[in-house]
Amino acid sequence: MRFLLFLLALALVPMMAHAQSETVIYLLRHAETTGPPYEDNPPNPHLSEDGKARAAHLAYLLEHAGITHIYSTNYRRTMQTAQPLSEATGLPITPYDPRALDDFAAQLKQTPGRHVVAGHSNTTPALVHALGGDAGTPIDDASEYDRLYILVVQPGGEVVTLQQRYGVAGDR
C-alpha cells in the first residue's frame, strides 16, 4: 500500500512542477549503516546490507524521474546511498557542505531541475526548513532511514512539501 501511495506522489510531482523552470528537490537521510548511530560507532561507517538494499530501491524509484543533479555530504554512508542512483542515471554525485545549509538551499532554489540530496538525520530536516518546506517531526536517529521529502518550488517561490517512505517491503 505504501508503495502505491509513493507512486501516486511521484505521479503528482510532474503536475505540480509542470514548467521547466520549476525545481523539485528529493531529500533523504542516508540508508542504514554498519553500526548504531551512537558515539561508539566509527565516525564514517559504510552502509549495511539493509542500507545497500534501500539505496538500490531509491535508484529503482527515481531512475526515470528526470533527475538532473545528485548531491551528498562527503561521508561514506551518504555517498553510498546516492551511488546506485548515480550509476542508474549516469549523473555524478556532487558533494555539499552540511555546515552551510542556507547557502546550499539558496543554490538549490536558484537551479531549475530535479535534485536528489542525501544527508543526515539532523541536516535533512534542517535543509527542508531552509528551503521553505515543512520538515514535520524530527527523524528518529536510531531507526528511521526511509523518510523521503519531495519539495516542489513553484514559480512564485512557494514550496509544497510531500513526505513519503521508501525502501524494501516490510522494513517499517
Residue showing cell 543533479: 69
For CA atoms 71, 129, 53, 47, give the dihedral sign. positive
* Interatomic CA distance for residues 113 and 98, integer angstroms: 21
120-158 pLDDT tens trace: 999 999 999 999 999 999 999 889 999 999 999 998 889
95-123 pLDDT tens trace: 999 999 999 999 999 999 999 999 999 99
70-91 pLDDT tens trace: 999 999 999 999 999 999 999 9
- pTM for the whole thing? 0.85
The answer regarding whether domain 2-165 maps to CATH 3.40.50.1240 reads yes
Confidence at 41, pLDDT banded by 50, 70, 90: low
